[in-house]
Homo-oligomer: A and B are copies of this chain.
Amino acid sequence: MSTVDQELRVGLVGYAFMGAAHSQAWRTVNRVYDLPVRARMALVCGRDAAKVADAADRLGWDGYTTDWRDLVGRDDIDVVDVCTPGDSHAEIAIAALTAGKHVLCEKPLANTVAEARAMAAAATTAQAAGVRSMCGFNYRRVPAVTMMRDLVAAGRLGVIRHVRAAYLQDWIVDPQYPLVWRLQKDRAGSGALGDIGAHIIDLTQFVTGQRITGVSAITETFVKERPLPDMVTTGLVTVDDAAVFVARLDGGALATYEASRFATGRKNALRVEINGSLGSLVFDLERLNELEFHDASAPSTEQGFNRILVTESDHPYLSAWWPPGHIIGYEHSFTHQMRDFLAAIATGTDPAPSFADALQVQLVLDAVERSAALGSSWAEVEPALTTVAA
């Protein structure tokens, strides 16, 4: 087994929630999967020297730095993993790509369409030099989600009629929850919309193979002012608390989307249902090892929603894990992501979702915001690629 040809030295920028999740995945991926390259956890970057030193020790990185430009510029780094807030994605990722590093960038790709366009352009340029880039829509790699995509692609659902997607959390229901960076537009770009709405946009487009063409949206900030982290003064919430929209997909389906941080009792409830002319699929991230599949080609008396425990060795990504019924967790989606990213680098192919794919999600987010700003009128999603005159 494991005749590893190559070591890829990874540099991670950011070591908070996402950085910790990525660290667990980098630490695990080669222990579980047999891959032609091995990731080395070389360097972690953060602004506070003491904290990043501690994170390096705790999370298992060989070294640390306080300057992402240092990390991006070093010869002994092959891969840059961007886990910072959205306002620095573009600068770091473009610099890394320009320096010839493979880049994995967390979602949403950027805080604005302009940044996302620049990043996608940089990725295209770098691609010509064999440099790979990928956006971290990790839920594509939840086995049940991959299986949904496979079933749709195999025609098992027939013509898709409906997409019903919600990503519901409740961590800011309390008006005294402080004004963290995720509630500030200049850092986060948007609120529930970009943070979790982006996930369901990407996931449903990935699963159906269809793209959203237009939306009518409402966004709302229920609690408009919150304590600053010092808990003494207050500040304005500058992002949405929730976003709801109806949409059309380019294959003819109608869709409803909802992203909220005010859905009391829902902790990480990403729920998707797809109805097609031949069947339906239901997924819930809080029970991510399960997939419900209704097959309308079965005899009428035996049709139902079949709860498949997606833990068999012939389910996507599962051959490397435990026996059937021994469930996996949230973090495994990152391990799967690292596996596919490493495999793509090793085989010289482009991983998905590309920066261009992520730009298209950004354009949907933009259409949602435009619709909401114009009193929920219809907003077309702009095309990702602009044709250039000869």
Contact = CB atoms under 8 A, between A and B. Distances in A.
Interface of A: 1-2, 17, 21, 23-24, 27-28, 30-32, 34, 54, 57-60, 147, 161-162, 164, 166, 168-171, 173, 214, 216-218, 220, 222, 242, 244-246, 248, 252, 254-256, 258, 260, 262-269, 275-280, 285-289, 293-296, 300-309, 311-312, 314-315, 322-332, 371, 375-378
Interface centre among A218, A245, A328 (most CB of B within 10 A): A218
B308 A307 contact: no
A135 to B, nearest CB: 20
B171 A323 contact: yes
A268 B28 CA distance: 24
Shortest 9 CB-CB distances between A and B: which pairs?
A267-B325, A268-B325, A265-B294, A216-B216, A329-B329, A304-B308, A326-B330, A267-B324, A306-B306
Nearest to A332: B329
17 contacts: A30-B58, A161-B262, A162-B262, A164-B166, A216-B246, A218-B246, A244-B246, A244-B254, A264-B276, A265-B294, A269-B325, A287-B287, A301-B315, A306-B306, A322-B331, A326-B329, A375-B378
Given A242-B254, A307-B304, A323-B17, A173 B296 contact: yes
Contacts of A300: 312, 314
B303 A308 contact: yes
Nearest to A32: B24
Chain A, interface SS category = mixed
A268 to B, nearest CB: 3
A143 B128 CA distance: 49
Contacts of A218: 216, 246, 248, 254
A256 B275 contact: no
A302 B308 contact: yes
A146 B84 CA distance: 35
Given A161-B173, A216-B377, 15 more contacts: A27-B27, A161-B260, A161-B264, A164-B258, A218-B248, A254-B260, A264-B294, A267-B309, A267-B323, A267-B326, A302-B308, A304-B307, A304-B308, A307-B307, A377-B378
Contact of A322 (B21, B254, B287, B293): B21
B301 A293 contact: no
Contact of A327 (B279, B315, B326, B329): B329
B222 A161 contact: yes
A293 B287 contact: no
A101 to B, nearest CB: 25
A60 B222 CA distance: 49
Contacts of A168: 275
A314 B301 contact: yes
Nearest to A379: B376
A243 to B, nearest CB: 9
Interface centre among A1, A269, A288, A306 (most CB of B within 10 A): A306
Given A323-B171, A329-B329, A244 B256 contact: yes
